[in-house]
């Protein structure tokens, strides 16, 4: 559904731009103007289709980037290779509603403090990406068992490579919906507002009583956080801490 909406937004943007371009004064009518119109209209269509915010950037850059690549006159196989790499990196965005987010050092430091406060023995990150959280935690807490869950193939491989020196960190390429969460003391997630209601419904019964769920940036609807950690990083990240009853 997400990919269909993205394709529809691009198509609508192109049709609107083609319709508007001939109506402009002659000195404004050009390929550059058409690209600007298409990108702007695709962003507007994406908003009307209620796509998540990060799709706005994708729609803004998609056609101009394609035009720039065409101007380089690369061999055809390079375009295919670029497409495959992008799909493998942004797998969660292509097949669902979870983009690739990278957490900051203040996020890692705060999660590390929570792990210490909870005397946690088992930790999991849902949507671990390239290991910006799990790798430093594996180094800081050698006795902590860490499970990183990531579906996107290339970030998963990078995570495995970065974790190769830490026996306490394990990377799994699997859907979070099929995982057993009953063993973890602390679970960290930096996912997407689109799936938070479903995630909350699953973890409410899947996590053991007394365990801690930490959600970066996105609150779970109708859940009351035990605490909200306001961080002083560039994104002004908020960590929502939920105690499982």
d(CA 162, CA 74): 32
The single residue listed with the structure tokens 């609107």 is: 16
Helix (H) or strand (E) holding 188: strand 186-189
pLDDT at position 44: 85
Contact (CB, 8 A) for 230 and 236: yes
138 CB burial (10 A radius; 0-12, 13-18, 19+): buried
d(CA 116, CA 110): 10
Tokens representing 147? 């499970």
pLDDT in tens, the chain (245 residues): 566 777 787 888 888 888 887 777 655 557 777 788 888 888 888 888 777 666 677 777 777 777 776 777 767 666 566 666 555 555 555 455 556 677 899 999 999 999 999 999 999 999 888 899 999 999 999 999 999 998 888 888 889 999 999 999 999 987 778 788 999 999 999 988 878 899 999 999 999 999 999 999 899 999 999 999 999 888 899 999 999 98
pLDDT at position 142: 96
Strand order of the sheet with strand 122-126?
169-172, 145-149, 122-126, 186-189, 212-216, 238-243, 227-230
Contact (CB, 8 A) for 52 and 97: yes
Contact (CB, 8 A) for 187 and 203: yes
pLDDT at position 26: 59
Task: Report the CATH architecture of 105-243.
Answer: 3-Layer(aba) Sandwich (3.40)
d(CA 142, CA 164): 13
pTM to 2 decimals?
A: 0.68
pLDDT at position 12: 84
Query: Helix, strand or coil for residue 97?
Result: coil
């Amino acid at each position: 559904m997400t990919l269909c909406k993205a394709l529809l937004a691009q198509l609508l943007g192109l049709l609107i731009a083609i319709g508007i371009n001939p109506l402009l004064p002659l000195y404004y009518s050009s390929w550059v103007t058409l690209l600007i119109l298409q990108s702007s209209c695709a962003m507007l269509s994406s908003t009307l289709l209620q796509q998540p915010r990060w799709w706005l950037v994708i729609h803004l850059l998609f056609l101009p980037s394609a035009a720039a690549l065409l101007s380089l006159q690369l061999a055809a196989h390079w375009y295919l290779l670029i497409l495959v790499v992008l799909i493998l990196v942004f797998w969660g965005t292509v097949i669902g509603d979870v983009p690739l987010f990278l957490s900051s050092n203040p996020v890692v430091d705060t999660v590390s403090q929570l792990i210490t406060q909870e005397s946690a023995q088992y930790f999991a990150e849902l949507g671990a990406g390239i290991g910006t959280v799990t790798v430093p935690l594996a180094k800081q807490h050698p006795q902590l068992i860490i499970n990183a869950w990531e579906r996107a193939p290339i970030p998963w491989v990078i995570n495995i490579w970065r974790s190769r020196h830490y026996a306490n960190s394990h990377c799994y390429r699997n859907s979070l919906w099929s995982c057993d969460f009953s063993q973890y003391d602390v679970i960290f997630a930096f996912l997407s507002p689109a799936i938070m209601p479903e995630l909350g419904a699953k973890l409410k019964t899947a996590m053991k009583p007394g365990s801690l769920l930490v959600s970066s940036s996105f609150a779970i609807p109708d859940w009351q956080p035990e605490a909200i950690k306001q961080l002083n990083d560039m994104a002004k990240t908020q960590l929502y801490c939920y105690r499982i009853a």
